[in-house]
Amino acid sequence: MNQKLSAAVREVMPPILWNAYLKMRGFTQRYPWREFSFMATSANTASLYEGRFAEIYDKYQTLDPHVARDSTRYLNYNICCFADLCKHVPGDIAAAGISWGVAARVLFEYLDLPRLGKTLHLIDPFDGSVERESTRRSQLYNTDVEYVRRQYPPDASIIIHRQPIPIQLPGRIAFMFMNTGDPAADAASLPSFYESLSHGGMIVMNQYANHPVHYQSVIQRLDVTPLWLPSGQGVITKQ
């Protein structure tokens, strides 16, 4: 079956039948068809469901009562993998947009931050705000900062910045991800966060590809080329 016909068949075929079809065609992956937030794939996704990342993600995913189990699995996998590349870069780890705390908590454990001796900066006003220029509030966002604080050991090196971005973080940053739900605010904050980023450090922008109009002019001023990911995330590295 050629590629175009295969894609057409996939559009109308339920996942259970598609998996059976792939098996019949000789595809033996344990996870031959998976759907995540913004994307789906018939490639082998065993790395997302087995091993260290999978164990940690499954442990903390339920912290958010509003998100389906697998919808953010790929997004979090990318965050952890890129952060791992930066674990020996000088500076701390930062996350903008915490809400229920899943991604930050997964990252904290995946990197084993206490062993690295890095501080985790959690940035969120915890007021349910959807956009910095609006008074609109979302019931899907967590407003209880103590709910997040209790997720970590009492002696964990975390600093909660209970304010909206942009903010100026102390010291240098080795890795950061941004997912406030307000792409305009994320983009406006990018220059100051990029300035704090150590050479070799990375920033993952969860909203990058889905709201390019907010990022284009900022990216041009920074003179960087983001790595586009099928998840819609964008990754920039400070050379």
Domain boundaries, the chain: 3-46, 47-237
φ/ψ of residue 50, rounded to 5: -135, 145
Predicted confidence at residue 174, as pLDDT, reads: 98
What pLDDT, in 10s, does the model give residues 36-91?
877 888 788 889 999 999 999 999 999 999 988 888 999 999 999 999 999 999 99
Predicted confidence at residue 220, as pLDDT, reads: 93
33 touches 18 (CB < 8 A): yes
Question: How many whole angstroms separate alpha carbon 108 and alpha carbon 45?
Answer: 23
Amino acid at site 42: S
What pLDDT, in 10s, does the model give residues 183-211?
899 999 999 999 999 999 999 999 999 88
Q: How far is CA 129 from CA 26, 50, 97, 126, 163, in A?
A: 49, 35, 11, 8, 11
Rounded to the nearest integer, the mean pLDDT of the chain is 88
Predicted confidence at residue 140, as pLDDT, reads: 81
The 3-state secondary structure of the chain reads: CCHHHHHHHHHHCCHHHHHHHHHHCCCCCCCCCEEECCEEECCCCHHHHCCHHHHHHHHHHHHCCCCCCCCCHHHHHHHHHHHHHCCCCCCEEEEECCCCCHHHHHHHHHHCHHHHCCCEEEECCCCCECCCCCCCECCCCCCCHHHHHCCCCCCCCEEEECCCCCCCCCCCEEEEEECCCCHHHHHHHHHHHHHHEEEEEEEEECCCCCCHHHHHHHHHHHCCCCEECCCCCEEEECC
Predicted confidence at residue 1, as pLDDT, reads: 47
Asked if pLDDT for residue 4 goes beyond 70, the answer is no
Whether the bond between 164 and the residue before it is cis, its omega within 30 degrees of 0, is no
φ/ψ of residue 175, rounded to 5: -155, 145
Question: Check: CATH 3.20.20.140 for 47-237?
Answer: no
